[in-house]
Amino acid sequence: MPDAKARLADMVASSSSNWWKDLLALWGPSGTGKAERPLRLAVRDNYLNFYLRGQSVARVAFDGQCRPYVDVHVKYAFAGAQDQAYARLTDAGIIHSKAGYSAPYAGASTLFEWMERAARWETAEKAEVERVVADNAGVIDLEMGLPAHGDQKTALRMDLIALEPNGRGSNVVFWEAKRITDGRLKARDGDAEVMSQINAYRAYLAQADHRRAVIEAYAQTCTLLVDFAEAASEGSKPLNLDPEVRRVATDHNRLDLDTIPRLVIFGTEEQLVAPAWQAHQEKLVAGNVPVLTIKTDAYRLDPPAGRGLA
């Protein structure tokens, strides 16, 4: 991606405003509150994805001449559009030639329009994932996909990828996020449906060449995150990145991999202590799945006894 990085660097160095500068100004690395910088950045294979609470608002990619462009779903780009298609933002503006849609790019105000429309599609689960990202600077990726393999017919996606200290550096760790009401976590007999997803990831990571590829990819991700943070900080307050992201960017040998995917489960205190749920959780743990539960009502102010609202 060297040529692509150089093209983006040219856009940052330009004296004129442009969409890349605008996206960087809205990017909040993990650990940054969404109110301050609402977009999250995920590095992919030769493209970048900017997410708003789980919705891909802008997909930055490159044409055959390595010229950068943005793909955006038409339902975000144009008010009232319902097509299952994407519009493209280039120097010429925003165009979806097949449907005849077009509009000028009006700077950050255009991105805010896209974000306003995208926010309407937020799901309860993605809202909880966003809370985790805002509170954990070690998250380095969202919606990571592995190619279909073995008996899998389609690619699977893991919700959160983070760095975790291992005493020598960091492990890449995988987290699948679910709400406690998700039926895929539960099974009266046999394994819960989520186990097929967990086992598919285990099978993929059981192969040494796959493990090496994942480690190399996330080492490069850390390098790119540092580069983009420096670009986003030009002329403004420096962006905060997890110190370990910066250390890995400098020394890729610090990075290793935990091959056991984990589950992070969101539920109220009442749901999490219910005996029926405890039985399901015990089955997951017995299947060698690390489980972290997060209370979604921990911030509530319970009234003292006898003081509840009538």
What tokens were used for 236? 């403004």
pLDDT per residue over 198-209, tens digit each? 999 999 999 999
**Cβ–Cβ under 8 Å, residues 98 and 78:** no
Q: What average pLDDT does the segment 37-64 reach? A: 94
In the chain, where the domains are located = 2-119, 136-295
pLDDT per residue over 253-276, tens digit each? 999 999 999 999 999 999 999 999
**Cβ–Cβ under 8 Å, residues 34 and 53:** yes
User: Which of 133, 134, 144 is CA-nearest to residue 218?
Assistant: 144
| pTM: predicted TM-score of the whole model, two decimal places | 0.90
pLDDT per residue over 152-174, tens digit each? 566 678 999 999 999 999 999 99
Residue 308's pLDDT is 44
Measured CA to CA, the distance from residue 126 to residue 121 in angstroms comes to 10
Is residue 98 predicted with pLDDT exceeding 80? no
What tokens were used for 10? 């040219």
CA distances from 153 to 29, 157, 192, 213 (A): 33, 13, 19, 21
Contacts of range 157-163, beta carbons closer than 8 Å, 24 or more positions apart: 158/201, 158/261, 159/129, 159/264, 160/129, 160/132, 160/133, 160/264, 161/218, 162/136, 162/138, 163/138, 163/242, 163/244, 163/245, 163/248
